[in-house]
A and B are shown apart, each in its own frame.
Chain A
Amino acid sequence: MFDPLEATLQIGSSGIQAQSKRMRIVTENLANAQTTGKTPGSNPYTRKTISFEDEVDDATGANVVKVSGIDRSRAPYRTEYNPGHPAADEKGYVKLPNVDMLVELADMREASRSYEANLQVVKQARELINMTIDLLRST
C-alpha cells in the first residue's frame, strides 16, 4: 500500500507545476500583447491557451493533474488603421494580437489562487507527517 501522505505531496506538486505553466502562458500572452507581424498583411501573435486534465498516476494511484495541451486561440484579431506600419495591408489596416489584457489578468489571478491552494495542501501534508514523527520524539 502506498502512503497517502506521500501521494498528497505528489499531487500537490503536480498542481503547482500545472499552475506555473499556466502562469508562464499568461506571461507570454501579456508580453506579446502588442506583437504584430513583419510583412504587409501578415498575422500578429496569436493568443496561447492552456488546458488541464486529470490523470491517475500508475505508480502511486494518485489523481494528479497534467497539462493536456497548449493551443492557439481562434478568436479574431483586432485591427487598427495605421498605413505607415510595416505590417499594414493594402487598405492600411494592421492586425493586432487577439490578447485581452483583462482576461489575461483574471487568468493570472486564478492561477495564483490555485497555486496557493496547492501550496497549502503540501504544507498541511508536511505538518501531518511531522505530527507523526513527533510521536517518537517526545517521550
Chain B
Amino acid sequence: MSLVRALHAELLKLKRTLAFRVIFVLPFLVATLQFFIAWRTKKFPTDFNLWQTMTTSSLQIWAVFMLPLLIALETALLNGIEHADKQWKHIFVLPVPRYCIYFAKVIVAQALILISTFILAALIVVAGIAAMYVRPELANSGAAPYAFIAKQAALVWLASWLIIAIQTWVSMRWSGFPIPLGTGIAGTFFALFAASASVGKYYPWLLPMNIFLEGRATTAIALGVIGGILATVAGCFEFVRRDVLS
C-alpha cells in the first residue's frame, strides 16, 4: 500500500519536468534518422526487408547508445529533484518505509524507459510507412510486423533493468548530474571495447545490444532482469541504512 502511495506521489513530481519530455525526444531523433537513411538510400538490394532492417537498426542504435544515456539522464533527473532542495530529509520523516521510496523510484524509471522504448517502436512503424510513401519501391515490404517490433522493444527494455538499477543507485547516492551522467557515459564508452571481448556478454551496458547478437540474447535477458532485481535490492539495502546528514 505504501508502495502504491509512493508511486502515486512520484507521478505528480514528474509534472512540468524534463524527465517527462525527454522520453519523447530521443525516440523521435532515432526514428527520424532511420527515415532519412531510408529516404536517401540510392538503391535497395532486391531482398531488402524494410521492417526487419528498420526495426533492428533503430533498436540497435537505441540499445547501444540512446538507451544508456536516456537511463542515466532519467534517473539523474528523477533523483535530482530530491537532492535539489534536500527533499530526502522531508521524505524520510514521513511514515513511509524507505524501501517503498526506493522501489517507487526504480519502478518509475523502468516505466519511463518502457514508455520511451515503445514510443520508439511506434515511431519505427510511422517512419517505415513514411519511407514507403517517399520510396514507392519499398511498398512491397508489406504491413508493419507489430508483434515483432513490440517483442524486440520489450526484450531491449528487459535487458536494460540492470543499467536502470545501477544508475538509480548512483543518482540517489550522489547529487547533481556529473557523477550519474559520468557513470552512464563511461559505461557506454567502455561498452565499445567490451563488445568484442567475451566479457561483453555480461557487461551491463551491452546487455540491451546483446539481444540482437547470436548466442547472447538469453543471457542478456536473464542477466538484465535477475541482475537488475538483485542490484535494486542491494541498492535499497544501502539506501535504507543511509544517514541523512544534509
A, B: real partners: no
Interface residues of B (CB under 8 A from A): none
